[in-house]
Amino acid sequence: MSSLLRISSRVALVVAVLALAACGQGRMGAGDTTNLNGNGMAGAMDPSSPAYFNQTVGDRVLFAVDQSTLAPEGRATLDGQAQWLLTNGEYAALIEGHADEQGTREYNLALGARRAAAVQEYLISRGVPANRLRTISYGKERPLEICSDETCYRQNRRAVSVISVGAGV
Amino acid sequence: MTVPFKRIALAIATLGVLAAFGFWTAPAIAQTGPLRIEITEGVIEPMPFAAPTFVAESDATADAAQDITRVIGADLRGTGLFREIPSSAFISTITNFASPVQFNDWQAINAQALITGSVSQNASGQLVVQFRLFDVFSQQQLGEGLQFVGAPDSWRRMAHNVADEVYERLTGESGYFDTRVAFISESGPKNARLKRLAIMDYDGANVQYLTDSRSLVLAPRFSPDGSQLLYTSYESGEPRVYLMDIASVTRRPLEAISAGNMTFAPRWSPDGGRVVFSEEQGGNTDIFMLDLGSGARTQLTQAPSIETAPSFSPDGLQIVFESDRSGNQQIYVMSANGGEARRVSSGSGRYGTPVWSPRGDLIAFTNQNQGRFHIGVMRTDGTEERLLTASFLDEGPSWAPNGRVVMFTRETAGTDGAPALYSVDITGRNLQRVATPGMASDPSWSPLQN
């Protein structure tokens, strides 16, 4: 009994470490889209910087398996994105929809498009002008995390709002 | 486009031609002998055959004779239907293509089929390949001898043609060796893959890259005449269907598409005159048809669900596709004009990427069930489903032109996961990895070349 307990607590510890690692890598992944800003932390402190958008507002929402419905935490992130975009009118967003590798290529392209569109519709419903939002699907072609289990899959089922200068796209 | 070589039946070739090469043999008795493999029954024991090195009629053709014999043997062995008897077991050799065959020597080593041939060069420097096929136990020639004439660098195709003839005579089905495969060549780590459109012979020889790695490219599809490819590319910044002419390596977008929309999953109609594909608008994906002659565009499905992966029946009258209208991916068949669709998949799990067999009798598909992927086939009404493979990730079958073998992508799991091409026959036998220079995905099997 006690040994069983010990094993299960060790498993729990390992899971926690994995989750942290995945989280850390996710943040690094978000870094690819901060090139506009360029000066790391200093930029991220400036609320009107894309780095602030990526790191503080949150540039992405995650989805359940084979779903494109926005979860409550996703909607909260998108409320923040909408507010930021309304405040910083010189920026536009390209919304990239992605899927995990558990699916056929064509279906995942269509699923990624659904996810991107769900984000686009939500941002429009929060007042962001449609001409500042564009979507693209990468299906399963651009995984952020590359292990083949749920810890990675959940990070890959995402829609990422990539900020660029330009009011109309 | 010029035909790279021509084939002549030895028995009907003019006497003058044969006399010029010094090969005169009595016209073969055309017959379909008892030596016959029934593929549909599922072959348990491969048929043993001997293919002694083709006779080189001059020193200049010695290498070609060796290479051609090797490729013929590899083609036949690769089907899983034939077993090649090693030359070390041979009692006699063939040193003269015209001499009578010593059947006893081949019976003694249990060769059921014997392939003999010669390779020479004609006055204009072309390679001349002749062959005959024998049923060793009935001591009969099977079909007529054939002669292929072509440029020296087309020796591989001539070898594939000999193997196609042998396959056809022994199985009653047309072969699939003189074919090519278009595919996506992949490189780089899993989270930064580079993809290039590539083409090769079906056996992995003669790889040619058709795009560079700057733009993500996906899922090429051969035109029915083998001269063009449809594929999806991100080169404009958004996923779009492109059309490439293979010989000139020139490409163009299939049509102008509104910004923000995505087109993908194209396939040709059997006559090559139309293209059916998916277009996504505002997050919803439906199936459309484009008439290449008139440019007319028709929307074939109109539903809030995902409709994709359309594929024509070989008579051009129906289209099989996948849809998640029932809640998850399943396979449906509709008229090529659109309209009501009937669901044909009924097993467990999700069904995608349906492809109609060129023979018309079966639909190949990807099945995803309980964390595993399968390539399978079913009758066109959904009955008699057979799952042929199982792995972490198998997807995207493409038919060999004879409808007996499918090629597909198999991807391994994990951070080092990598895609490769595999083939399997429709009985589930003879699973084989297809040779590619590196990682590869999304195969499209060409029709037999002419």
Q: Residue B43: is its pLDDT beyond 70?
A: no
Chain A residue at shortest CA distance from B233: A138
pLDDT, position A45: 87
Supply the DSSP symbol for B86: P
List of chain A residues whose C-beta atoms are within 8 Å of the C-beta of residue B280: 109-110, 113, 137
Q: Among A160, A32, A167, which residue's Cα sits nearest to residue A90?
A: A167
pLDDT digits (tens, 9 = 90+) for A29-44: 333 444 444 444 557 7
**CB contacts, 8 Å: B189 with chain A:** 146
Label the pairing between strands B127-135 and B140-141: antiparallel
User: Cα dihedral sign for B107, B110, B113, B117?
Assistant: negative
pLDDT-derived band of residue B442, with 50, 70 and 90 as boundaries?
very high
The arithmetic mean of pLDDT across residues B391-411, rounded, is 98
Average the pLDDT over each of B12-16, B130-134, B307-311, B383-387 and give the range with the smallest value.
Answer: B12-16
Looking at the predicted structure, is the pLDDT value of residue B42 above 70?
Answer: no
ipTM score here? 0.90
Q: What is the pLDDT of residue B21?
A: 32
Looking only at the bridges linking them, the beta strands covering B113-121 and B146-150 are: unpaired
pLDDT band for B320, please (50, 70, 90 cuts).
very high
User: A162: closest CA among A139, A141, A132?
Assistant: A132
List the single range of A69-83, B24-38, B154-168, B287-301 with lowest mean pLDDT.
Answer: B24-38
**pLDDT per residue over B345-368, tens digit each?**
999 999 999 999 999 999 999 999
Q: Residue B55 has which token pair? A: 């006779």
What value does the mean pLDDT take over residues A121-133?
97
Q: Do A113 and B283 touch (CB under 8 A)?
A: yes
Smallest Cα–Cα separation from B176: which of B141, B222, B139, B143? B222
**pLDDT for res A24:** 34
Q: Which residues of A121-140 are buried (b: 16+ CB within 10 A; e: fewer)?
A: bbbeebebeeebbbbbbbbb
Residues 6 or more apart whose CB falls under 8 angstroms from that of A149 comprise none
Name the residue facing B414 among A107, A135, A148 (closest C-beta).
A148
Q: Nearest-CA residue of chain A relative to B329?
A: A107
Distance from CA of B352 to the nearest CA of A (A): 7
Inter-chain CB proximity B352 and A104 less than 8 Å = yes
pLDDT band at B9 (very low <50, low <70, confident <90, very high): low
pLDDT, greater one: A80 or A11: A80
Residue A167: the pLDDT is 55
Please indicate whether, in this complex, the C-beta atoms of B417 and A146 are within 8 angstroms of each other.
yes
Given the structure tokens 């995984």, which residue do they identify? A143
Q: Looking at the complex, does the CB of residue A70 fall below 8 Å from at least one CB of chain B?
A: no
Return the pLDDT at B26: 31
pLDDT tens digit sequence for B53-69: 999 999 999 999 999 99
What pLDDT was estimated at residue B40?
Answer: 57
pLDDT value of residue B366: 98
Report pLDDT for B35. 74
Task: Go through B142-171 and write b for each residue having 16 or more CB atoms within 10 A of its CB, e for each that does not.
Answer: bbbbbbbbbeeebbbbbbbbbbbbbbebbb
In chain B, residues with a C-beta closer than 8 Å to the C-beta of A96 are none
Q: What is the mean pLDDT of residues B26-34?
A: 40
Q: Which chain B residues are within 8 Å of A146, Cβ to Cβ?
A: 189-191, 414-415, 417
Query: Are B33 and B170 in contact, with CB atoms under 8 Å apart?
Result: no
Q: From chain A, pick out residues whose CB is under 8 angstroms from the CB of B238.
A: 136
Could you give the count of Cα atoms lying within 13 Å of B70 in the half-sphere of its Cβ?
A: 9
Predicted model pTM:
0.88
For residue A110, list chain B residues with Cβ-Cβ distance below 8 A. Answer: 278, 280, 285, 306, 308
Average pLDDT over residues B2-7: 48
Token pair listed for B330: 């399943």
Instruction: Give the span between the Cα atoms of B302 and B291, in whole angstroms.
Output: 19
Q: How many angstroms separate the CA atoms of A157 and B255, rounded?
A: 30
Within a 10 A sphere around the Cβ of B339, how many other Cβ atoms?
Answer: 9
Average pLDDT of every residue of chain B:
92
CA dihedral A12, A16, A18, A19 (to 10 degrees): 130
Cβ of A86 under 8 Å from any chain B Cβ? no
Sorted by sequence, the CB contacts under 8 Å of residue A137 that are 6+ apart come out as A96, A97, A98, A109, A110, A111, A112, A113, A115, A116, B239, B262, B280
Distance, in Å, from the CA atom of B240 to the CA atom of B256, rounded to the nearest integer, reads 9
Q: Is the dihedral of CA A71, A76, A77, A81 positive or negative?
A: positive
- Identify the burial level of A50 via C-beta atoms within 10 angstroms of its C-beta, where 0-12 means exposed, 13-18 middle and 19 or more buried: buried
The rounded distance, in Å, linking the Cα atoms of B441 and B417 is 13
| Residues B90-106, mean pLDDT to the nearest whole number | 94
Q: Which residue is associated with the tokens 């030596």? A: B35
Distance from CA of A30 to the nearest CA of B (A): 13
The Cα of A87 is separated from the nearest Cα of chain B by a number of Å equal to 24
